[in-house]
Amino acid sequence: MQNAPEIWRHVDAKAPEMIALADRVWDMPEPLYAEFRSAAEHVAELERQGFRVQQGVAGIPTALMAEAGEGGPVIAILGEYDALPGLSQEAGIAEPKPVEKHNGFGHGCGHNLLGAGAMLAATAVKNWLAEQGIAGRVRYYGCPAEEGGAAKAFMARAGLFADADLAITWHPGHFAEVMPAASLANTRIDFTFTGRSSHAAAAPHLGRSALDAVELMNVGVNYMREHMESGARIHYAYLDAGGIAPNVVQGRAKVRYAVRHPDLRGMAALIERVKKIARGAALMTETEVEIKVLSAVANLLPNEPLEAAMQAELERLGPPEFDAADRDYAEQIRATLRPEDLRAAFSAAGLPYEEGKPLCDIIVPRGTPRVLALGSTDVGDVSWVLPTVQASGATAAIGTPFHSWQLTAQGKSPHAHKGMVHVAKVMAATAATALQQPELIAAAKADLARRLGGQPYECPIPAEAEPPLDMAKG
């Protein structure tokens, strides 16, 4: 603990290089499993920093592991770098203006910062270990395809986290805090119906409509919503509606479903119900259905000792220091938002609404009561294998919706850079504390064992499923 300020010094020393990395990745937004240039930038930077790098791990060309140090505990620090479709946007302005139109990609979830900030923390720990002469290793995991591709789940299934002692990561956000460890287990499944094409006017009786099957499936699932647990969620998107000619009975149609539930067992049961509805739709339409699981992630497991340790480092450091120019740009962004966006950000953090607060100036107290808006993340799978803790970094104007042009626009802003460096100090200091206190690692492992209750992690992705490397193509 007494060496935490030294860790901050190591973070500051490498911050300009990692800010430059974050900006380069922002400039080359790439979707899930297609982050070839972004991954190459990470590999090049890791090699410059003296890490031992492995590329293409778990059968994923854009996944990587990089390690430094010798002996001792292994601290995993997780980074990401995938972008999203439809969120192309010029940087540093407060109006929608795509760089690339027609569904261009953009870093609307801040993963350009996430990867670079995690690498900044890992590099600081590497240099601190060497300076202090402490036995221990830091391992940076470059994790692609968090946005629905479940790369970390495939990496966990491949055993890439099995020999690490704990995992640390973060996500861009509105406030500086320890992220509540709550998320929904999630599976993405494609249902492809095959029927028989025919002339829709002259011979409709000879056709068997795959599109009818998809629509019947959707109706059936919508009726099921009344009879599932309130915490569960089901969403769908048409990938292939059978063509553009209404005078042809559609012989093929495809729909993608996302099935979410607060825990793995509940998700598995809900998926079986959805599959039954799909098979029923095929039976009613005399079509065939192929069911293919693309990806799946577990729900997050909390870790009390690690969360307490990270909170202590946040409070030791204090909130980020933003200047008048940062606040002015944040206010310009906030002027494009609805009042409910602004209020929702405070509510999600369990804080009372404050008018005229554009950027974070506090450390959110741990355990603040709140109503969580739950999503899904493949960090959940890591949390079943290793004690895991996540920070939220204050990188966005308070109220900014994620997966929006406003978030993309702030991706290269000075306030985003400052929030990234701030949270890198928190992650690096948490790692340093664990490396100096074996009892913290032991307590974190005991907490995980208690939560598992003797039930080992079982990857929710079927054993035969391979990483869906062409998932971005639909």
Spatial strand order of the sheet with 185-194 comes to 233-240, 252-261, 185-194, 288-297
DSSP 201-233: TT-GGG-B-HHHHHHHHHHHHHHHGGGS-TT-E
- pLDDT for residue 176: 98
254-274 pLDDT, tens digit each: 999 999 999 999 999 999 999
| 292 and 350 belong to one structural domain | no
The answer as to whether 85 is a domain residue is yes
Query: Considering 297, 331, 352, which residue would you say is the last residue of a domain?
Result: 297
The SS3 call for residue 400 is: coil
| 378 and 424 belong to one structural domain | yes
| 211 and 221 belong to one structural domain | yes
Give me the amino acid identity at 64.
L
Nearest-angstrom CA–CA distance, 186 and 271? 10
Query: Considering 259, 276, 297, which residue would you say is the last residue of a domain?
Result: 297
Query: Considering 274, 297, 320, which residue would you say is the last residue of a domain?
Result: 297
Q: What does pLDDT average to over the chain?
A: 96
- pLDDT for residue 4: 53
Angle between helix axes 264-285 and 210-224 (nearest 10 degrees) is: 140
Nearest-angstrom CA–CA distance, 418 and 431? 20
324-383 pLDDT, tens digit each: 999 999 999 999 999 999 999 999 999 999 999 999 999 999 988 988 778 999 999 999
The answer as to whether 135 is a domain residue is yes
The answer as to whether 143 is a domain residue is yes
Q: Token pair for residue 117?
A: 């900030």
Nearest-angstrom CA–CA distance, 349 and 369? 8
In 3D, which of 338, 340, 330, 392 has the Cα closest to residue 366?
Answer: 392
| 33 and 76 belong to one structural domain | yes
| 174 and 192 belong to one structural domain | no
- pLDDT for residue 2: 47
E-assigned strand segments in 298-348: none
The SS3 call for residue 290 is: strand
Indicate which CATH number applies to the domain containing 97.
3.40.630.10
The answer as to whether 91 is a domain residue is yes
| 10 and 158 belong to one structural domain | yes
- pLDDT for residue 1: 40
| 223 and 317 belong to one structural domain | no
The SS3 call for residue 122 is: helix
The answer as to whether 18 is a domain residue is yes
| 323 and 280 belong to one structural domain | no
The answer as to whether 467 is a domain residue is no
Per the structure, how many domains does the chain have? 2
| 11 and 154 belong to one structural domain | yes
For 204, the domain range is: 185-297
Mean pLDDT across 442-465: 94
403-452 pLDDT, tens digit each: 999 999 999 999 999 999 999 999 999 999 999 999 999 999 999 999 99
Mean pLDDT across 308-329: 98
| 139 and 33 belong to one structural domain | yes
Nearest-angstrom CA–CA distance, 252 and 261? 30
CA dihedral 414, 169, 25, 142 (to 10 degrees): 160
The answer as to whether 468 is a domain residue is no
| 343 and 282 belong to one structural domain | no
| 402 and 320 belong to one structural domain | yes
Indicate which CATH number applies to the domain containing 277.
3.30.70.360
- pLDDT for residue 456: 85
